[in-house]
Structure 1
Amino acid sequence: MGALEPGRPNPARIDNYWIGGQDHFVADRVLGDAVAEIAPWAVQGALTNRAFLRRAVRYLARSGVTQFLDLGTGLPAAGAVDEIAQQVTPGARVIYVDHDPVVLAHARALLSRDPRTVTVAADLRDPASVLGEATIQAHLDLRRPVAVLFVAVLHFLTAAEDPGGIVRAFREVLAPGSYVAITHLADVDSDVQARRAATTRRAVRVYEEMAAPLVLRTPEQIHSLFDRLDLIEPGLVPVHRWRPGHGSRSEVPVPVLAGLAQRT
């Protein structure tokens, strides 16, 4: 595992900056501002991803799910998975998985207070190592339903890293009644003006040059990640339109799609 590298922009810290957190450095703010200047929706995208996560976890907990596996979790923030799930079901177990030393350092400091919530150092790109990790095996009962969360993480994986194969590997070990949640940055030329699509790609290039690979995928490609899973209503939709609830404020549209599907 590498050093924290405060002089190098970090995806988790940039996201934390965009959502109003405190865990970021000058390099993260500089790149975050540069991307947001090109694509002002970037900040709203980070916020709507977090809002989707809260809504999805609340839906899952109310549906009886008591085990949550959050892959590529990012830095802890208000309304985290454990907070939402355990508000609904006090006995819910939450496992956060990340390989980023920045995330792990913060998560272990902030989330160690509750034995129902654990943080594991593992890389989602290697599902076998994640599922074979001793802490996960001790806390996760794969004979019962589990919610696997891929929120704002799969677009950091290249085609060579096979995000579809990764989702499939986790899906195959899940019990019936389990769920998979995904949000993903989308290439939606047919749904937005060409100028906006070009702006999105320009912002992605700036981000990639400084921080990490970032892959736009078409709605069809994102839909294929849910292979052999049953999408629940409203299906795969813009992230701000996924069960917004009564009284939710209108959110700026962002090129991110979201879906929640069940293994039956």
Structure 2
Amino acid sequence: MLVLLPPSETKRGGGDGPPLYLGTLSFAELDPLRKQLVDELVELAGDVLASRAALGLSPRQDAEIAHNVALWSAPTLPAWHRYTGVLYDALDVASLRGAAAARAAGRLAIGSALFGLIRATDPVPAYRLSAGSALPGRPALAARWRPLLESVLATLADAGLVVDLRSGSYAALGRLPGAVTVTVLAERPDGSRRVVSHHNKTHKGRLARLLASSRAEPADAAAVATIARRAGMRVECPASTELSIVVPA
């Protein structure tokens, strides 16, 4: 099983790993585009105003541009420690130990606008590039990534179940038909429901932790739902590759 996570806009700074070397990243077939994008970001970072426009940043976020200046020289951290925010707080990989940590390292992967797809333990620097960013004079990131990523993802899907927890913009970088997708629904006292947007990350992070560390090896959405229910989550299976996590409004 592979649990495919989104990245996060917020990232932990610093690190104690050596500078970025693409040869240490998983899925080497993505390296040519990775190099192009890193080089383009470093060049773009030389123009602060252009960087703000392309990356959707305010002047208060100029530190993000400084991260891009140093992409080839900055220290790295394992990806699952680099990314921060609501989903990664709920995932809480730092608290995993022993066999659970080893299983999580093998099962978790992260979709990235800069690196395409990486394993959770791959070493990466701090950076700023979102799936919706528009680099000057370049095609949209989805158009550049999709031909490469969809081939890699299809190979992974052939090897076993994929639970795709990416947000829409990151899923657009590489579609994966047949993967189990997850929606979070808030249920009101009258029984009506609405899709949860931002706060869905907490529930997806919790599910990711359960799946990443579980001794079970689920083969389909129903088995994923069983793991979640045993942990107290309310989960429904509206379709063979769809799950709904239902939470109080």
TM-score (norm 2): 0.30
TM-score (norm 1): 0.28
Q: Which structure exhibits the higher relative contact order, with contacts defined as CA atoms closer than 8 Å and separated by 6 or more residues?
A: 2
Structure with the greater alpha carbon radius of gyration: 2
